[in-house]
Structure 1
Amino acid sequence: MIIDLPDTTISQVAKKLVSVREEGGAVALGRVLTLIIAARNGVAEAAIDAANDASREHPMRVIVLTVGDGDAHLDAQIRVGGDAGASEVVVLRAFGDAASNAESLVTGLLLPDAPVVAWWPEAAPADPASSPLGRIAQRRITDAAASADVRDRLGLLGQEHSPGDTDLAWTRLTHWREQLAAVLDQPPFESVTAVEVRGSASSPSTALLASWLGLALDVPVAWAYEDPEQWSEGIKSVRLTRASGDILLERPEPGTAILTQPGQPDHDLHLPRRTLRECLAEELRRLDPDVLYGRVITEGWEKLGPPASAA
C-alpha cells in the first residue's frame, strides 16, 4: 500500500503512520532499527529496493530523504505491506527552505529506543559523523565507489574516520577475505613474504584489500590497476608469495575465480560481485563499530604506498 501526502508536515506524516498502524495492525512491531537513506531521486528507488530486501532479515523503518530546488514545501509518501518488504518506508521530498534542516525532518519519525543507521548510497559528506544525519546515527554507511576520485575519497575516509563509520567498498571484500584467510589456514603454515593485488581503478575495494593484507600480514604490498580495456570490474587478482611458491587467487571473468597453489590442482570458485542488498544486509547485522575497518582505513591506509600505475 502506498499513501501519498503532498505539501505536508512531519507532524502530519507521524500521525498518518499511527493511523496506518491502527488500521492495519501493529506494523511497527518487531522493527529493530531505523534506516535513514539520503539520496537524490535517481538513486533513491534502487536504495529502497535494497533496503526492502534487507528488511526480510532486519525488519526496520526506512526514512528516505531527497532534497530539491523550488518553493519551500514537503511532499511525503508512506509505503507498507507488499510495497515495503518487511519494513515500512517513509519517503520525504523536501524543497527549498524545507530542506534546510535534515536532522529535524527525520527526528520526529525515528522509532523510539531503536538504533539509527544513516546511509548515503552516492555522494556522502566529507565527515559523515559530524553531518546532520550522521550525528543521530550509531552506524554510518558510505560508498566510496560512487566517488569520482576513488583514492582521494579513501584518503578522506581515513582522515575523518569515526567509530561507527563503514563503507560498502569494504563490505564487498568479505568473500575475498574469507577465501584468502581459508587458504592461509591450511598447511604448509609458512609466512607470507610479499603480496600483490590487482584490480580496477574504479574499485576502491582494490586498495582496501591491499590495505587489509598489509595490515594483517605485516608485509610489503604491491598493488596496481589493470588496463580498463582488459578489466573494469572490482578486484582482478591477489598473489601471496611464500617460500614453497605463490598462491594466486584470480578472477579471469566476473563471477568466477581460480585458486592456484603449489603442488595442488587449480580450483574453480564461485566469486561473484556482491549485490547492494547483500552488502547492506551484512552491515545491518552489526550495530557496534567495525574496529577492523577502522584500522584498515587509518593505519593500513597510511602504510600503503601508491599504486604501481601511479608511481
Structure 2
Amino acid sequence: MKIDLTDTTASKINKALVQGRRAIGTPAVGMVLTMVIVTDEENAYDAIKAAEQASHEHPSRTLVVIKRHARTPRERTQSRLDAEVRVGSEAGTGETVVLRTYGEVSDHADSVVLPLLLPDAPVVVWWPVDAPDVPAKDPLGALAQRRITDMYAVESPLRVLESRARSYAPGDTDLAWTRLTPWRSMLAAALDQARLTITSAAVESEADNPSAELLARWLEARLDVAVERVETAGPVVTGVRLGTEKGEIVIDRPEGPLATLTLPGQPPRTLALKVRPTSELIAEELRRLDADEMYAVALRGKDTEENA
C-alpha cells in the first residue's frame, strides 16, 4: 500500500503510517531499528531495494531522505516536504517513508526525521553517495548508533580514506570494509591452519581500491609486517600473498566467484569467494550495532595497534 502526501508534516506522515497499517491489518510490532538512507534521486531506487531486501533479516522502518535541488528562484525560496508512505508488500517486512525535502527544509532534515524514528530502537544512517566529511558530526549522523558510508562511491577513495581515518568516531563504518569479511575470514582460517610465522605480505588489486588499502592496513596492524600493494587489472581485490619460512600462503581470485587457497606443502583448494550485493552488505552491518573496533584498526593501520 502506498500513500502520497504533498506539502506535508511529520505529524501527518505518522498518521499515514497508522492508517496504512490499519488498512492492511499489520500492527507496528517486530521492527527492530530505524534505517535512515540519505541519497539523491538517481541512487534512491537501488538503495531502497537493498534496504527492503535487508529488512527480511532486520525488519525496520526505513526513512529515505532525498534533498531536492532548486532549479528556479521560486523553488530556492520554497520550503516544502513531500512524502511517500509504503507499508505491506511495498516495503519489505517493515515500512518505508520516502521524504523529499525542498528549500530550507533540506537544511534541517534532522528535524523532519526525528519525530519519525521508532521509539526506543537503534538508528542506523546510510549514505550510498555524497556522505559528509565527518559523518558523526552531521545532524542526521548524530542521531545514529551506526553510520554507514561507501568509499566506492567517491572519485578519490584513498584520499577520502585518509580523511575518514582522521575523523573516525565509534559507530562509523564503510561498505568498503564490509566487502572484506569473506577475505578476512578465509585469511584467519588459513593462518590458524598453517600456524606459521608471517615474514612478508602483499595485497593485489585494481588501482585505488579502498577495500585493498583497508585490507593491507589491517594485515600490517595484525601481523606486524610491511604489506606490499600490487596493482593488477582487477576487478576489486584479486589476491593476498603471505610469506613464511616454508613458502607462501596464497588466496588468489583473479575473477569470478571462486578463489584458490594454497598453503605450504598442501595442494591448492577451490573456495567460494563471491562479490556480494549491497543488500547482503547492509544486512551484515545491521547484525551488530556496537562500535566496529577492527574497522578503526584498518583505517589507522599499524599506528592504532602501537598506540592501543
Q: Same fold (TM over 0.5)?
A: yes
Give yes or no for contact 2:220–2:301 (8 Å, CA) kept in 1: no
How far did residue 262 of structure 1 move?
2.3
Aligned residue for 2:2? 2
SS at match of 1:216: helix
Q: Using the TM superposition, name which of 175-184 and 289-298 deviates more.
A: 289-298
How far did residue 49 of structure 1 move?
0.6
SS at match of 1:273: coil
Runs of 5+ in structure 1 lacking a partner? 304-311
Give yes or no for contact 1:256–1:269 (8 Å, CA) kept in 2: yes
Q: Does 1:103 align with 2:105?
A: no
Q: Does 1:253 align with 2:255?
A: yes
> After superposition, where does 1:113-124 map in structure 2 within 5 Å?
113-124=120-131
How far did residue 82 of structure 1 move?
1.1
SS at match of 1:297: helix
**Compared with structure 1, are the counterparts of its residues 106 and 97 closer, same or farther at alpha carbon in structure 2 (3 Å cutoff)?**
same
Aligned residue for 2:136? 129
How far did residue 14 of structure 1 move?
1.3
Q: Does 1:220 align with 2:220?
A: no
Q: Does 1:25 align with 2:25?
A: yes
Q: Using the TM superposition, name which of 256-265 and 277-286 deviates more.
A: 256-265
Q: Using the TM superposition, name which of 99-108 and 64-73 deviates more.
A: 64-73
Q: 1:244 aligns with which of 243, 246, 263?
A: 246
Question: In structure 2, how many angstroms separate the alpha carbons of the residues matched to 1:199 and 1:41?
Answer: 31
**Percentage of matched positions with identical amino acids:** 47
Question: In structure 1, how many angstroms separate the alpha carbons of the residues matched to 2:300 and 2:293?
Answer: 11
Aligned residue for 1:76? 83
Q: 2:265 aligns with which of 263, 266, 278?
A: 263
Aligned AA for 1:252?
P
Give yes or no for contact 2:63–2:96 (8 Å, CA) kept in 1: yes
Q: 1:150 aligns with which of 118, 137, 157?
A: 157
Cα RMSD between the aligned structures? 1.4
Q: Does 1:199 align with 2:188?
A: no
Question: In structure 1, how many angstroms separate the alpha carbons of the residues matched to 2:40 and 2:88?
Answer: 24
Question: In structure 1, how many angstroms separate the alpha carbons of the residues matched to 2:254 and 2:26?
Answer: 50
CA displacement, residues 27-79 of structure 1 (integer Å, 9 cap, x when unaligned):
42011000000000111111111111111110100000001123321110011
Question: In structure 2, how many angstroms separate the alpha carbons of the residues matched to 1:178 and 1:27?
Answer: 39
How far did residue 102 of structure 1 move?
1.4
Question: In structure 2, how many angstroms separate the alpha carbons of the residues matched to 1:27 and 1:43?
Answer: 30
How far did residue 202 of structure 1 move?
4.4
Aligned residue for 1:208? 214
Aligned AA for 1:61?
R
Aligned residue for 2:36? 36
Q: 1:182 aligns with which of 163, 177, 189?
A: 189
Aligned AA for 1:53?
Q
- TM-score norm. by structure 2 comes to 0.93
Give yes or no for contact 1:255–1:272 (8 Å, CA) kept in 2: yes
- TM-score norm. by structure 1 comes to 0.92
**Compared with structure 1, are the counterparts of its residues 95 and 301 closer, same or farther at alpha carbon in structure 2 (3 Å cutoff)?**
farther
CA displacement, residues 157-198 of structure 1 (integer Å, 9 cap, x when unaligned):
1000000000000000000001111111114x2110110001
Q: Using the TM superposition, name which of 261-270 and 203-212 deviates more.
A: 261-270
Aligned AA for 1:280?
I
Aligned residue for 1:307? none
Q: Using the TM superposition, name which of 55-64 and 72-81 deviates more.
A: 72-81
Runs of 5+ in structure 2 lacking a partner? none
